[in-house]
Amino acid sequence: MIRSFVFQNGKLLGQDIELIQLQTLLADPTLMIWVDLDNPAESEWKTVLEDIFKFHPLAIEDCISISQTPKVDDYETYLYMVIHAVDFSRKTEQFSTTELDFFLGKNFVVTYHREPLHSITSTMDRCKKNPAQVARASDRLAHTILDALVDNYTPVLNELTQDITEVEEQAFTHPQPETLTRVQQLRKEVANLRTIISPQSEVISRFARGEYKEIRPHLVPYYKDIYDHLHRIAAMAENYRDALNNVLLIYQSSRANETNAVIKVLTFFTVISTPVTIVGTWYGMNFHSMPEINWEHGYVYVVCLTLCTTLLTIWYFKYKKWF
């Protein structure tokens, strides 16, 4: 699907323009054009990327291919950028990423993505309601899209925080093998988040340093604000990693304590049964000359001896506070 918007001096002149008109409108430097390609057919992206905007073949190849690494390339008259939106499912406890490809020129923005993106739909709504605020120029529109994309990380991180809190409680109260599985899964997803955020921060930092002429100087601080947001997210990812490492240690310690408690109980019963075993073994020997065998009260003597030694063993354990 192709969506298009045409602005002039912060006013929305039209939307969903016929493709045949876009090239003519693109030649007017007073107009600013945004074309969004949402999972387009091959004929659609070829018309827009090759025929109308005439982007470099390498940039087009990168755009239509799935890239795992955020990056920015300077093609002199425009910038090509790859960035990723993220989502987190509490059901599967996994991150999913959606690639967003940008072409940013002096008077145009072209976005390409294979799945619907909240940052794109929200920016479209803002363009319709208040175009003067978000679409006076291409670099401002690009900032609006990127800012919305990064802001959407917040609910994603909130979901992740809830999951980490849950496994912390499980590790403290009821550590089970399933807890370890969840911890390992969350550690893997946090590592994935760090893999996404780190290069993404580097891309935005280049905008924040004003390295490209497509970004006007007075907008550089706004891009720096996005970079600061990503930097905070990266710091949160580090904290998540440390928290999950601590949860893993707590889980291992809890399981070890449970094992020690079981061994302690088994040891206690083994030790207190030792006198009974010794006495029973001693008098179970088949020697006819054992004098106690013929005692009238031999049985009572053995029972009392066994009971006394057992009680003495229990008292000693209590005295030493071993149980």
Residue-wise pLDDT for 167-205, tens only, equals: 888 887 777 888 888 888 888 888 888 888 888 888 899
- CATH 3.40.50.1000 assigned to domain 2-255? The reply is no
Average predicted confidence (pLDDT) for the chain: 85
Per cent of the chain over pLDDT 90 is 29
Helix (H, G, I), strand (E, B) or coil at 71: strand
Q: Range with the lowest mean pLDDT among 106-110, 289-293, 308-312?
A: 289-293
pLDDT above 80 for 276 = no
pLDDT above 80 for 65 = yes
Which contacts (CB < 8 Å, 24+ apart) does range 199-208 have? 199/69, 199/70, 199/71, 200/70, 200/83, 200/84, 200/230, 201/227, 201/230, 201/231, 201/234, 202/70, 203/70, 203/71, 203/72, 203/81, 203/82, 203/83, 204/146, 204/230, 206/72, 207/72
pLDDT above 80 for 68 = no
Name the pTM for this structure: 0.74
**Phi/psi of residue 210, nearest 5 degrees:** 70, 40
pLDDT above 90 for 270 = no
Q: Range with the lowest mean pLDDT among 127-136, 206-215, 254-263?
A: 254-263
**Greater model confidence, 278 or 30:** 30
Helices 138-151 and 220-272: angle between axes, nearest 10 degrees: 10
Gap between the Cα atoms of 28 and 191, Å rounded? 46
Mapping DSSP onto H, E and C, the string for 188-254 reads HHHHHHHHHHHHHHHHHHHHHCCCCCCCCHHHHHHHHHHHHHHHHHHHHHHHHHHHHHHHHHHHHHH
Reported confidence tier of residue 293, pLDDT bands at 50, 70, 90: low
Mean pLDDT of 79-88: 86
Mean pLDDT of 37-41: 92
Reported confidence tier of residue 287, pLDDT bands at 50, 70, 90: low
**Greater model confidence, 271 or 61:** 61
What is the per-residue pLDDT across 210-253, written as a single tens digit (0 to 9) for each?
899 999 999 999 999 999 999 888 888 888 888 888 888 888 88
* pLDDT at position 253: 80
Exposed, middle or buried: residue 125 (CB in 10 Å: 0-12, 13-18, 19+)? exposed
Gap between the Cα atoms of 78 and 67, Å rounded? 20
